[in-house]
Structure 1
Amino acid sequence: MLDKVKKLISEVENATAKTEEEVEKFRLRFVGRNNIINELFEDFKSVPPEHKRELGPALNQLKNSAQNKLKELSASLTSSASKSNVDVTLPGTFGTEGSTHPISQTRSRIIEIFERQGFNVEDGPEIDNDWNNFTALNFPPNHPAREMQDTYFIEKNPDMLLRTHTSNVQIRLMDKKKPPIRSIMPGRVYRNEAISARAHCFFHQVEGLVVGENISFKDLKNTLYHFSKEMFGKGTKIRLRPSYFPFTEPSAEIDISCFICDGEGCKICKQTGWVEIAGSGMVDPNVLENCGIDSTKYSGFAFGMGIERVTMLKYQLDDLRLFSENDIRFLKQF
């Protein structure tokens, strides 16, 4: 029996394991509940007394060696795993079942471009009062946009409404923060319009506001020129057409050269070579004064564009309703 114990001691000391299965096999043989060492201790009870003095220490040595070897083998596997090329501290990878909505992709891209120009992102409520949405923005009391066919008013409080543009965030920003201001305001807006391929009762905008000393129309042009090149390509040109907005003076519509046909004329640009992307202008002095900003010292410019509009141009889409129908066949293309 002593020879058997010594043989097992040698087997334990020389044991190796490269996999978890091999470690488990060693554990079951030498350390598990019904292991071979326990069987030897049972046989030890019937050994003649004169042999127990020599056999007992050998059995204890075998038991201790098996326990220590198990720890060593387990630690060796853990150490090998930690030396792999996988960095377990990095974020995990995600499945490919879903995708980012095209509106979210465009919104993120627009924000990225303007943040590189020094703009910060501001947010505000989608339900606001008449002052922030209309009056402070220099809308006359009889302006058509105040009528029910354009605006969703709150029935129990006619002074409250669903914002029709994110310009309400500009008013809130100028009320709480004095110049210099350089911010963009992305968000969802609502208008009481019939849903069609070119119109919806809700859509998304990104508006921008810059207020400071000696801000000029040239600053507005350069800002939108840089954005257009970043968004639609380096060869993009822009043009400004005179327009009217109650909250800016002078005002201009921003067109870009059609990046589909390179200005030659196609169905996207309606054969004109130009597509409209935004409205803009210098902030009307009345708007600055309504927010407590000295219009004799400060000036500013503002602009606004529809995210759906930019997305449709970028991906050559012709139906605004696709963005809100949640058709997986459409969304998974992005």
Structure 2
Amino acid sequence: MTTLPPNLEEQLIALRQDAEQALAHLADTLTPTVALEQVEQLRVKYLGKKGQLAQVLGGMGKLAVGDRPRIGALANEVKEALQQALDQQRATLQTAQIQAQLAAETLDVTMPGVYAAQGRVHPLNSTIDQVLDIFMGLGYTVAQGPEMETDYYNFQALNFLPDHPARDMQDTLYLPDGNLLRTHTSNVQIRYMENNDPPVRIVAPGRCYRRDTVDATHSAVFHQVEILAVDEGLTFTDLKGTVKVFLEALFGEVPIRFRPSYFPFTEPSAEVDVQWKGRWLEVLGCGMVDPHVFKSVGYDPEIYTGFAAGFGVERLAMVLHQIDDIRRLYNSDLRFLRQF
């Protein structure tokens, strides 16, 4: 009988047993994702070009011709058994990996939902939204501008001369660089007219600042909405009709009166009151745009006329919601805000 190379047959059997034990050990000790990586490493270790099976078969050349078929058949059997075991373990681990992912990502629709308190629109924002809805319905476009402004756009272009006493009425907050915090949203009108030709119909909401002592009716920071309309042939009658439509949309059918007033950027000018709950309330100022303002933006006052109006949002919100102190709008008191 021919003698085989030392332990060649035993090595093939031992290699198969060792590989199968290693595969079985993976599923018991590792997570599916890590075990799948180890399966590939075992495949390379045992069945790769330089793996253990290839090293064992390197001794086939020393076998007698009659023994080679039997050892070759055994080697193929071991290879097929290992490949089948690797494929089976890989499929098992992939299924386990999918199940683990599904379990981690599954949403139990029968569980009680997590409560999230529903927010509310702040009364200032809701008032601004209501005002914008009215004017947009009248064909106006919303326009905005910077809160930090130059003296030119905040005063000079609006017909405030450097020594104009109306500047003292503004209580301006100046910045170290010579700029200022805008005292009204009229700066938006100048900037818009500089970049747009007539006809113009804009509504400009925004935050404004004035050096003011805070009390029940005053605040250093407040909100304002202004409108501007410019076209050929606009008159004070158009202004009155626009203001009347706006106030009736906001307050309903209420008596309205116009009182002569003064603003540097309009002429003639008027204050507008509404009769609300038995008394007259001042709600806005308005007037026809002064020709000097048109000249500042390059409009010909011989061709175009226009009107403007402006009002404080806080005043309207306090009237509409019967709020007795302006500071309530800024204190972030949930007991107050939850009423709206």
Answer yes or no: same fold by TM over 0.5.
Answer: yes
Flag structure 2 segments of 5+ consecutive residues without an equivalent. 1-114
Partners of 1:210 and 1:302 within 8 A in 2: yes
SS of residue in 2 equivalent to 1:250 = strand
Partner of residue 185, structure 1: 204
Structure number with greater Rg is 2
Residue in structure 2 matching 1:253, options 271, 278, 292: 271
Identify the residue that residue 310 of structure 1 maps to in structure 2: 316
User: 1:254 offset after TM fit, Å?
Assistant: 1.2
Q: 1:191 to 1:137 in 2, by over 3 A?
A: same
The CA deviation at 1:155 is 4.2
Q: Is the 8 A contact 2:175 2:181 kept in 1?
A: no
Q: Secondary structure at the match of 1:330?
A: helix
Matches within 5 A, 1:91-102: 95-102=116-123
Q: What percentage of residue pairs aligned between the two structures are identical?
A: 42
* 1:37 aligned partner: none
Shift of residue 150, structure 1, vs aligned partner: 4.1
TM-score, normalising length from structure 2? 0.64
Q: Residue 287 and residue 150 in structure 1: after superposition, are their counterparts in 2 closer, same or farther (change >3 A)?
A: closer
- Distance in 2 (CA, whole Å) between partners of 1:119 and 1:238 is 28
Distance in 2 separating the partners of 1:126 and 1:109: 26
Q: Contact (CA 8 Å) 1:225, 1:237: kept in 2 or not?
A: no
Q: How far apart, CA to CA, are the structure 2 residues paired with 1:144 and 1:324?
A: 31
Structure 1: how far apart are the matches of 2:124 and 2:175? 30
Describe the shift of the 1:285–1:238 C-alpha distance in structure 2 as closer, same or farther (beyond 3 A). farther
SS at match of 1:206: strand
The reply on whether 1:228 has 2:232 as its aligned counterpart is no
SS in 1 for 2:234: coil
Give 2:125's aligned residue.
Answer: 104
> Corresponding residue for 1:154?
174
Query: Equivalents in 2 of 1:215, 1:126: separation in Å?
Result: 32
- The Cα RMSD (Å) is 4.9
Q: Which amino acid aligns with 1:306?
A: G
With the length of structure 1 as denominator, give the TM-score of the two structures: 0.65
- Aligned residues, how many? 287
Q: For 1:105-124, what aligned pairs fall within 5 Å after superposition?
A: 105-116=126-137, 117-124=139-146
Residue of structure 2 in register with 1:176 after alignment: 195
2: CA distance, partners of 1:303 / 1:238: 18
Aligned to 1:26: none
1:287 counterpart = 2:304:
no
Give the structure 1 partner of residue 338 of structure 2. 332
Distance 1:326 1:106 in 2: 17
Q: Give the conservation status (yes or no) of the 8 Å contact 1:236–1:257.
A: no
Letter in 2 for 1:278: L
- Moved beyond 4 Å, runs of 4+: none
How many angstroms apart in 1 are the aligned matches of 2:233 and 2:191? 22
User: For 1:10-21, what aligned pairs fall within 5 Å after superposition?
Assistant: none
Change (3 A) 1:288 1:187: same
Structure 1 156/111 Cα, relative in aligned 2: closer, same or farther at 3 Å? same
* Contact 2:143/2:192 (8 A) holds in 1: no
Matched, 1:134 2:155: yes
Distance 2:162 2:223 in 1: 26
CA shift at 1:181, angstroms? Answer: 0.5
Alpha-carbon offset, residue 128 of structure 1:
3.2
